[in-house]
Amino acid sequence: MKVNSTLLSVAFGLSGCLTGAIFSYTPLNAQVSDQVGDAFFIENVRIIIGDGNVIENGFLEIENGLIETVSAGALENAEAKISIDGQGKTIMPALIDGHSHLGYQGRSSWGSQNYGKQNLIDNLEQYAYYGFSAVFSAGSDAPNIINSVENARQDGEFIGAQVLFAAGMAPPGQGPNDQFLSHALAVEDEVSETILYGLENPEQARKQVRAASANGIKFIKIWVDDRGGSQRKLSPPIYEAVIEEAENLGLKVFVHQQFASDMPGLLSAGAHGFLHGRIGQDFDSDIANQTSVSGAFIIPNWGLAELRREAIGEDSFLSDIFTNEVMQPLTAGNDSRQNALRRDSVSEAERVASFLGLIDAGVDIVLGTDAGAVPDHPFGYTGHRELEIYVRLGMTPMQAIVAGTNNAARHLGLEFKGELKPGFSADIILLEQNPLEDIRNTRSIERVFLAGVEVDRSRLKDKWKP
Ligand SMILES: [Zn+2]
């Protein structure tokens, strides 16, 4: 039996914050999904829209899981309405992770043995806990299993981030990093589903794209990388065929590429976006301009290399939801955050220069983390850390938030996510502190609503760290 947790918590969990009396409460019937909530307001609150604009003091009306009204000023006759007082607080759209690999990271281990419905739900609940409304899983999923999870979410069996996923394509038997590859192949064996589509030549590659499309898959991830010589690299004639066939069928193609020098050819072929920036070294302003003109996005993915050297187990924003045994190896032997920041000023200056070049060229930056591709790169947590890196390297906090909301939604085709505007899904983070003053304030999460229903963060925390 599913009850409307939003109204329950508004009515009974917030006594100190409520401005007026609560009148009637109508429970929803058991069949309704999390797409449906009832009506409530958040008032006296700073509203970060997600498109670069902010309302310093306003209110938001939520009805049936959607945003009904967004307005500056005070809510009229507020006492008569079910309302959350956001005095001194900020709301922003829930975040979206444009590059993840769901299913392999469990609560205390990583690998193919974890891949299945229950662990996928746990991963998506973790995203929701950290204020994410959607996640793109990049080419490592068993379609029937992950579709069953998304269907369960839509049926209201759990509250978590919406999942989008891609068919993975590379030369036969290749694709992900060597460790990940063996685990993805093990899942394929175990569940008898195609995860990785092998591409032999242009004609056969077109057939593979048609096969993925016939299976209802909307995205293709291609790997253009020889993994330092241990794998074969996808050749231009093959990826050109993949992208053209995908375009004909209305599918988007996102790319893992090892070098910036591969980007011009991929852009000319019509690639829709890059899941790793590669914006140091051989990246130049010509590539930035070509990316901007073509409308493709770039996910910089800075944190994947950086956070693995940092003692993230010391960070209570993470250790709050993991047992001490799991956190201990993420602490020992690594740099503290302060030391990690001081390291290597030359390459830091290079990163700043190339990132600013990309921003100046007008390239759409999309938040993405590669969480789950390797052990101990945790879902959700890494997204907040990535925003922090964007600001350290030269973005304004507002630009970083747009990368994680509106930009991500647009490029993933999530039409009604990523902004707090009428008609959009009521995917909202209520923050105690203002992230426009310090991007690390995206961590000051007080409440999360997905499609107007509150994520029960304390229940999740208790489940994960009793
Ligand atoms: Zn990846």
Of 258-262, 280-284, 387-391, which one has max mean pLDDT?
387-391
Q: What is the pLDDT of residues 78-132, one digit of tens each?
A: 888 888 999 999 999 999 999 999 999 999 999 999 999 999 999 999 999 999 9
The reported pLDDT for the residue numbered 310 is 87
Looking at residue 171, its pLDDT comes to 95
Please list, in sequence order, all residues whose beta carbon lies within 8 angstroms of the beta carbon of residue 45, skipping any fewer than 6 positions away.
57, 58, 59, 60, 86, 87, 89, 90, 91, 430
* pLDDT exceeds cutoff 60 at 24: no
- Domain assignments of the chain as residue spans, ordered by start: 5-93+420-464, 95-411
Global pTM reads 0.91
Q: Could you tell me the distance, in angstroms and rounded to a whole number, from the CA of residue 189 to the centre of ligand 1? A: 21
pLDDT at 330: 85
Model confidence at 346, in pLDDT bands (50, 70, 90)?
A: confident
Residue 339 DSSP SS3: helix
Residues 6 or more apart whose Cβ sits within 8 Å of residue 81: 20, 40, 41, 75
pLDDT at position 329: 84
Q: Which residue has the higher pLDDT, 330 or 51?
A: 51
Q: Which of 135, 218, 155 lies closest to 417, judged by CA?
A: 135
Ligand 1 center from residue 175 Cα (angstroms): 10
How many angstroms does the Cα of residue 392 sit away from the middle of ligand 1? Answer: 23
Determine the distance separating the centroid of ligand 1 and the alpha carbon of 289, expressed in angstroms: 24
Provide, rounded to the nearest whole percent, the portion of the chain with pLDDT above 70.
89
Q: How far is the CA of 460 from the centre of ligand 1 (A)?
A: 26
> pLDDT tens-digit profile of 239-252?
999 999 999 999 99
Structure confidence at residue 293 as a pLDDT band (50, 70, 90): very high
Architecture of the 5-93+420-464 domain: Roll (2.30)
**CA gap 49, 222 in Å, rounded:** 33
Output the CA 140–ligand 1 centroid distance in Å. Answer: 9
The pLDDT-based confidence of 17 (bands split at 50, 70, 90) is very low
113 CA from centroid of ligand 1 (Å): 19
In CATH terms, the superfamily for domain 95-411 is Metal-dependent hydrolases (3.20.20.140)
Do 5-93+420-464 and 95-411 come out as alike in CATH topology? no
What spacing in Å lies between the alpha carbon of 10 and ligand 1's midpoint?
Answer: 39
CA–centroid distance, residue 101 to ligand 1 (Å) = 6
Residues by chain with Cβ below 5 Å of ion ligand 1: 138, 370, 373
CB atoms within 10 A of CB 206: 19
Average pLDDT of 212-234? 93
Residue 46's pLDDT is 98
